[in-house]
Amino acid sequence: MAKSFSLAIYPWVYLAKYSKDKAWEEKYQEKPHLKMDEEAKLSDEDREQYIQKRNSFPELPLVNYTTQYGMGCFEGLKAFPQKDGSLKIFRPEENGKRMERSMEGLMMPAYPAEYFLKAVKEVVAKNAEIGFAPVYDPDWEKDDFIYGHAVYIRPFTYTEPGIGVAISSNPWVVIISTGVGSYFQGGTSKALISNRVRAYPGGTGWIKCDANYVTSALAKREAESRGYMEAIFLDAQEHKYFEEGSSSNIFFILKDDTVVTPALQDTILPGITRKTILTLAKDKGLKVEERKIALEEAFSEAREVFVSGTAAGISFIESITYGDKTAVFNNGKIGEITHDFLKTLKGIQYGAIEDSYNWMTPVKS
């Protein structure tokens, strides 16, 4: 089983710099590499040397507003191998628009969504041409593609040099990619409600901002150290309403089959998988509500719970614990509706189900 987020980036990367004349200067760069199968045969030490060279960007300044203050944003999206040998990216235009909004929210020059789409496709295509891409495996179908491999694409911003607290006027946008497998590696699917607060009203919770993920990482590590898969955050003001998972949106399916997810506000990230699930739910004839959902209602009325995101996909939650109370959903097993969402989403992404929504963008047109 492939690990998620292995830091062994593929050779072709993209860098764009916002220049002082208010234009984006773009370039593609090929990092040191052998053929993928040749690298796999190297000793661990030799392979690590290649990986370190690819992971290194000496042209980018070490001391800047990103490294010092978390002043940056990023995206995450995937390209999925298809049966015909091609690669298709899931809803990249949505990621491009969100990154543009995130940069505007951080008062940076905004990187245009049309640049984003072109660069993401080109990076994946260039790497695929030299063999750095997964190949479709029919065995993935038997588990509804839960263990399928994909190309994970990470666009991110990086600022010009700086030591004082300030915003960025001349950032870089960097796009790298790597192979990725299942995000949650099996075992427990229990969740723990964290006492930490992910985002406050008026803050950057709605931005896919670097700094937001510090609290998420701490909460998730605390949950994992106690035997849970996921950490869940409540609202900052009353600490009674659900907001998000550690790096994912959260959904509740009530006893009457109503699909409920917290309404978007400035403390919740507008997830692209979240948006996709809402569309699927409505088209499947389910009642959908975007609103506040309190602990008491979820614990007494929800019969299925899952989290969603680019990395997580759709991952069911068998139970949620808060203090000395634990609610178990669907006897600790994935529910029928959750499973249907998962099969539909993965099926579309890997080409096993017709993409009637035009969500999949071919890497090569």
Question: Does residue 203 form part of some domain?
Answer: yes
The pLDDT of residue 136: 96
210 touches 159 (CB < 8 A)? no
Are 134 and 238 part of one and the same domain? no
Are 212 and 299 part of one and the same domain? yes
For residue 21, what are the contacts with CB-CB under 8 A and spacing of at least 6?
none
Are 125 and 195 part of one and the same domain? no
Residues in the chain, overall count: 365
What does pLDDT average to over the chain?
94
Question: Does residue 126 form part of some domain?
Answer: yes
Catalytic residue among 88, 126, 208, 346: 208
- Out of 180, 204, 239, a domain closes at 180
What is the mean predicted confidence (pLDDT) over 219-225?
Answer: 97
128 touches 150 (CB < 8 A)? no
323 burial (CB, 10 Å; 0-12 / 13-18 / 19+) is exposed
Give residue 68's pLDDT band: very low, low, confident or very high (50, 70, 90): very high
329 touches 318 (CB < 8 A)? yes
199 touches 243 (CB < 8 A)? yes
- Out of 180, 211, 230, a domain closes at 180
Nearest-CA neighbor of 133 among 14, 28, 12? 12
Are 258 and 120 part of one and the same domain? no
Q: Which domain holds residue 153?
A: 12-180
Question: Does residue 89 form part of some domain?
Answer: yes
The pLDDT of residue 188: 86
Are 115 and 244 part of one and the same domain? no
Rg (CA), the chain: 21
Are 21 and 170 part of one and the same domain? yes
* pLDDT value at 1 more than 80: no
| Cβ count within 10 A of residue 159 | 25
The CATH number of residue 167's host domain is 3.30.470.10
* pLDDT value at 264 more than 90: yes
Are 22 and 171 part of one and the same domain? yes
Are 27 and 122 part of one and the same domain? yes
* pLDDT value at 70 more than 50: yes
Tokens of 229: 């898969």
* pLDDT value at 184 more than 70: no
Tokens of 177: 């990619």
* pLDDT value at 2 more than 90: no
Are 17 and 165 part of one and the same domain? yes
Are 196 and 165 part of one and the same domain? no
33 touches 54 (CB < 8 A)? yes
Tokens of 292: 């506040």
pLDDT in tens, 268-306: 999 999 999 999 999 999 999 999 999 999 999 999 999
pLDDT in tens, 302-328: 999 999 999 878 999 999 999 999 999
Number of helical (H) and strand (E) elements in the chain, helices listed first: 9, 17
Eight-state DSSP code of residue 224: H
195, amino acid identity: N
* pLDDT value at 163 more than 90: yes
208 is catalytic: yes
Eight-state DSSP code of residue 131: T
The pLDDT of residue 364: 87
Question: Does residue 358 form part of some domain?
Answer: no
Residues forming beta bridges with residue 18, ordered by sequence position: 24
Residues forming beta bridges with residue 157, ordered by sequence position: 173
| DSSP structure string for 47-71 | HHHHHHHHH--TTS-SSBHHHHH--
The CATH number of residue 241's host domain is 3.20.10.10
Question: Does residue 78 form part of some domain?
Answer: yes
Residue 319: phi, psi to the nearest 5?
Answer: -160, 160
* pLDDT value at 345 more than 80: yes
Residue bearing tokens 């984003």? 116
pLDDT in tens, 139-162: 999 989 999 999 999 999 999 999
- Out of 146, 180, 214, a domain closes at 180
Question: Does residue 357 form part of some domain?
Answer: no
Tokens of 31: 């990092």
As a whole number of angstroms, the distance between CA 129 and CA 33 comes to 13
Are 207 and 158 part of one and the same domain? no
Tokens of 231: 């950490």
Question: Does residue 360 form part of some domain?
Answer: no
Phi-psi region of 78 (alpha: psi -120 to 50; beta: other; left: phi over 0): beta
Give residue 7's pLDDT band: very low, low, confident or very high (50, 70, 90): confident
Percentage of the chain surpassing pLDDT 70?
Answer: 97
Query: What crossing angle do the helices spanning 92-105 and 113-129 adopt, rounded to 10°?
Result: 130
Overall domain count for the chain: 2
As a whole number of angstroms, the distance between CA 255 and CA 207 comes to 33
Question: Does residue 176 form part of some domain?
Answer: yes
Give residue 5's pLDDT band: very low, low, confident or very high (50, 70, 90): low
Are 100 and 176 part of one and the same domain? yes
The pLDDT of residue 183: 60
